[in-house]
Structure formats: structure tokens, C-alpha cells
């Protein structure tokens, strides 16, 4: 057991995989010399050298193009896009090329690559450096999408993503970086497409992702004090999606709330709500409810950003009111 921050878990997880596979390389802006602008890649240059850990120009298309070309010719790659908002400047490579090449070629090419990117709000960075864009990736056939909420999952899902032969977008949450937790000794390897029950409960199910998981857990403790026993599910992986864990929980509790940091329209919770209403409608005791950031660009000021992103109190109040 060792205590590790979410931030340090990123480098820890990458190092675990780079030691295991000497072919694995990484590239991105400021990841080598500087150790990443979020200090998530500190120490990797020293351990693995400049051939395997490479700084790039500010050229997101060139970065992901290089990752794709290397991956499809047999070299597994971890590429960093500094802020997830910047996926928009290389979206062609992500959505049209990396995601579709296997299908379009009748299975001729394999794309063992991971796109790591810092996602989410809470840092007062404004509308272009704070977005939660996991739903952008979720809607593209051919991409796998994960967003860990704690240090152990960072390491385990990083290993799972690297070892998966398909492209995986790996969202690291900026506001979780400082959080610390004990992680087990030895190799940690997670599984894509598996949700976890972060808190067991009998009265309702709160489905959350990344930063929304600790907030949902805190809200659940407050609800418990009122006598509402909420189950909290950490989705962890949007694609593949562990619907069985979610459906099983909702069938048991009869109510579902999703907590999403993305803006309202077409958030991942809408897809889950749709699956729940199609498949376990008769187990529901009330409507599925979505708690999301409003459909606005994120504001910069502390007071406004805190109003926009679902807070512990908003989760508590929404669930509380709805559960009567």
C-alpha cells in the first residue's frame, strides 16, 4: 500500500506500462522536459529517455496524426492533448481517422493508442479550458472512453487502456489532481467497460463520473442523515458501457439520478436514462432525473463556475426533493 495523488497516479500508471512494454512511447506538448503542465508526467523522461517520451510543437493534428501512424504500424502510443477542449482542433484525426479506420478498411488496421487529456472544470479557466467533453467522444463509433475518479482507477484504467488494441480516450480530471488515496502494491490492471458501486444503498441510484463521483458520495452521506439510502455508481467507462451494473442497481432501488458535468444536451446521462427507461421501466418508481451543468459555456468567475457545475448541495437537493 502506498498513498498516491491522482496527479502522481497518472505517471505511476504510465510508468507501470512503459516498464512492461519497451515499445510503448508517448508524445505531447511539454510532457517531457516540463513533466506536463499538470505535472502528470513527472519523472518519465528521466526513466524512459527522450526517444520514448517526446515533446512536440503546439500541433494537435500532428500529435494525434503521429500517434495514429505509429500505432497502425505496430508501435503502441500514449498521446497527450493538454486540455480536452483542444480536441476540437484535431477532431478530424480523432473522429474521422482514428475512430473509423478499422471499420472503413474492413479490419485491416489496428490502432493501439491512448489519448490522454485533462478534462473538466473547477479551475476558473473559463469556457475554453474547463469543459467536460467526454460526451463528444462517446458519440463517435470506434472510440473507447474512460474517465477515472480516483488514483487507483487512474492506474488500473491506464493499464487497461494501454493494453487494449483499440483507441481509448482517457480523461483526467483537473479538479481531482490533488486528491490522494491508498493504492495496493504491485501491478494494477483495471477493466474497460466496468462500473463500480462506490456506495451501496437501497433507496435510489446516483450514477456519476469523474469529479461528480466524490460529490455524489458526499451528497449521499447527507441524504443518509435524512434517511435516504442512496447507491452511488462510478461509471468509469462510457464506452464500453457497463449497463448491467447500472440496470441492476436501478432495478433494485427503483429510482435513478445521473450527475453529469457536461452541459445538458446530449450528455452521457441522457443515453443511460434512455437505456433505463427502455429496459427496466417497470422497475422504476419515479422519473429518471438528470443533474447537469446548464446548457451554457462555462463562466470563469469562481462564483459563477460553482453555480454552473453540479455541486454537492445541488445533488442533495435534487435527490431529496424528488424522493419526497
Which stretches of the chain bind other proteins, using CB under 8 A? 25, 51, 54, 56-57, 59, 61-62, 64-75, 77, 92-93, 96-97, 101-110, 141-142, 164-166, 193, 239-244, 275
Q: How far is the CB of 241 from other proteins (least distance, A)?
A: 4
Task: Name the active-site residue from 7, 52, 116, 129.
Answer: 129
Alpha carbon distance 213, 233 (integer Å): 8
State which residue, 62 or 312, has the beta carbon closest to other proteins: 62
C-alpha cell at 290: 438528470
Element (H, E) at 290: strand 289-293
Half-sphere exposure (Cβ direction) of 107: Cα atoms closer than 13 Å: 0
Neighbours of 24 (CB within 10 A): 20
State which residue, 77 or 216, has the beta carbon closest to other proteins: 77
Neighbours of 124 (CB within 10 A): 15
State which residue, 97 or 261, has the beta carbon closest to other proteins: 97
State which residue, 247 or 298, has the beta carbon closest to other proteins: 247
State which residue, 203 or 242, has the beta carbon closest to other proteins: 242
State which residue, 102 or 173, has the beta carbon closest to other proteins: 102
**Cβ(83)–Cβ(139) under 8 Å?**
no
Alpha carbon distance 251, 63 (integer Å): 44
SS3 10: helix
Element (H, E) at 172: strand 168-173
Reply yes or no on whether 129 is catalytic. Answer: yes
DSSP calls for 42-107: TTHHHHH-TTTEEE--S-HHHHHHHHHHHHHTT--EEEEEEEGGGGGGGHIIIIIIITTHHHHTTS
Provide the edge-to-edge strand list for the sheet that holds 289-293.
196-199, 230-234, 204-208, 256-263, 289-293
Q: How far is the CB of 105 from other proteins (least distance, A)?
A: 4
SS3 3: strand
SS3 226: helix
Q: How far is the CB of 287 from other proteins (least distance, A)?
A: 22
Spatial CA neighbour of 234 closest among 255, 263, 205, 262: 205
Q: How far is the CB of 112 from other proteins (least distance, A)?
A: 8
Positions marked active-site: 129
Amino acid at each position: 500500500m502506498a498513498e498516491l495523488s491522482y496527479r502522481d497516479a497518472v505517471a505511476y500508471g504510465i510508468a507501470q506500462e512503459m516498464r512492461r512494454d519497451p515499445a510503448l512511447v508517448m508524445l505531447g506538448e511539454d510532457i517531457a522536459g516540463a513533466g506536463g503542465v499538470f505535472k502528470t508526467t513527472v519523472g518519465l523522461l528521466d526513466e524512459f529517455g527522450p526517444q520514448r517520451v517526446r515533446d512536440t510543437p503546439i500541433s494537435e493534428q500532428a500529435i494525434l496524426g503521429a500517434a495514429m501512424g505509429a500505432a497502425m504500424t505496430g508501435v503502441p502510443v500514449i498521446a497527450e492533448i493538454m486540455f480536452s477542449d483542444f480536441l476540437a482542433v484535431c477532431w478530424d484525426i480523432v473522429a474521422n481517422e482514428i475512430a473509423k479506420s478499422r471499420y472503413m478498411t474492413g479490419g485491416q488496421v489496428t490502432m493501439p493508442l491512448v489519448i490522454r487529456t485533462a478534462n473538466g472544470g473547477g479551475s476558473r479557466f473559463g469556457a475554453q479550458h474547463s469543459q467536460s467533453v467526454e460526451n463528444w467522444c462517446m458519440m463517435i463509433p470506434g472510440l473507447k472512453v474512460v474517465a477515472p475518479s480516483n488514483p487507483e482507477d487512474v492506474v488500473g484504467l491506464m493499464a487497461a487502456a494501454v493494453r487494449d488494441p483499440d483507441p481509448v480516450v482517457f480523461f483526467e480530471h483537473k479538479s481531482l489532481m490533488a486528491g490522494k488515496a491508498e493504492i495496493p502494491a504491485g501491478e494494477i490492471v483495471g477493466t474497460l467497460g466496468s462500473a463500480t458501486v462506490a456506495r451501496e444503498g437501497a433507496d435510489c441510484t446516483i450514477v456519476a463520473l469523474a469529479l461528480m463521483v466524490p460529490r455524489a458520495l458526499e451528497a449521499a452521506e447527507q441524504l443518509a442523515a435524512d434517511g435516504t439510502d442512496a447507491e452511488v455508481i462510478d461509471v468509469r467507462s462510457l464506452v464500453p458501457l457497463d449497463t448491467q451494473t447500472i440496470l441492476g442497481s436501478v432495478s433494485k432501488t427503483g429510482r435513478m439520478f445521473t450527475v453529469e458535468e457536461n452541459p445538458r444536451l446530449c450528455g452521457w446521462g441522457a443515453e443511460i436514462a434512455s437505456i433505463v427507461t427502455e429496459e427496466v421501466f417497470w422497475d422504476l418508481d419515479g422519473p429518471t432525473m438528470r443533474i447537469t451543468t446548464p446548457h451554457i459555456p462555462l463562466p470563469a468567475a469562481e462564483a459563477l463556475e460553482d453555480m454552473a457545475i453540479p455541486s454537492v448541495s445541488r445533488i442533495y437537493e435534487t435527490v431529496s426533493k424528488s424522493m419526497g
